[in-house]
Amino acid sequence: LYNRLFYAKYEFNIIVLNKGFLKTKQENEINSIFLPLILGRILFLLSLRGLKMKAMLNIALFGPPGAGKGTQAKRIVEKYNLVHISTGDMIRKEIADGTELGKMAADIINRGELLSDEFVVRLIENSIATHKGANGFLFDGFPRTVAQAEILDNMLGKEGTPLKGLICIDVPFTELKRRMLERAKIEGRADDNEEVIENRFKEYNSKTVHVANYYKNKGLHIDIEGDRTMDEVFASIVEVLEKIKD
């Protein structure tokens, strides 16, 4: 920190801070005036950076249909005062509001095509930009591809607030199917039969397995056993977040 830290000019004499020593004709005066100011400024900037890093809790939450991800997302956001970023909700809102992005999304969806990584990332960027000073972000079901994961890491890295973890709620397929069939009966959703549920589960796995491996390789993938009560699952998530939030 002290080795060749800065150069400045004082009465046409160059001040060089080299391994903690100042060498000028006005050494005593400079030491007493400038050194405390310089070191104070350095410590101040470092403290601000430390506060920023500590305050931001950025996490991604994954879970197959029926895992209770929506319920847990709401509780996490409320407890840690995070901004909830759900690409599905964002797309629906853009379409409902008739924005430029919404019109583009509606056109793509109406053609039966999938939204590109670039389009989804643009939505995420807009949302992050409108929430400066947030305590952190909960990315709900995002990123869905390795390309999106890499872009997200780059975005957050530039801000000095990297993703702290990818939390994945794991529930056995038999339990997921039971939950979804029961929900279909309650909500009167005749289209949610066993075949449809199996296809949705396969689609989820095929989309997330590569992202999961990406974060496993970075040591950020966290499995949560979801075959328990909502309170028990939430307690396990909180236990993990308390360890990684600082």
Q: How far from 11 is each of 14, 18, 24, 25, 32, CA to CA, in Å?
A: 8, 19, 10, 10, 16
Angle subtended at Cα 214 by Cα 210 and Cα 220, rounded to the nearest 5 degrees: 130
Encode 83-135 in three state secondary structure: EEEEHHHHHHHHHHHCCHHHHHHHHHHHCCCCCCHHHHHHHHHHHHHCCCCCC
3-state secondary structure of 80: helix
CA dist., res. 228 & res. 169, Å (int)? 11
**Per this entry, what is the length of the chain?**
246
- Closest CA relative to residue 156, chosen from 53, 50, 81: 53
Catalytic residues: 69, 144, 183, 189, 200
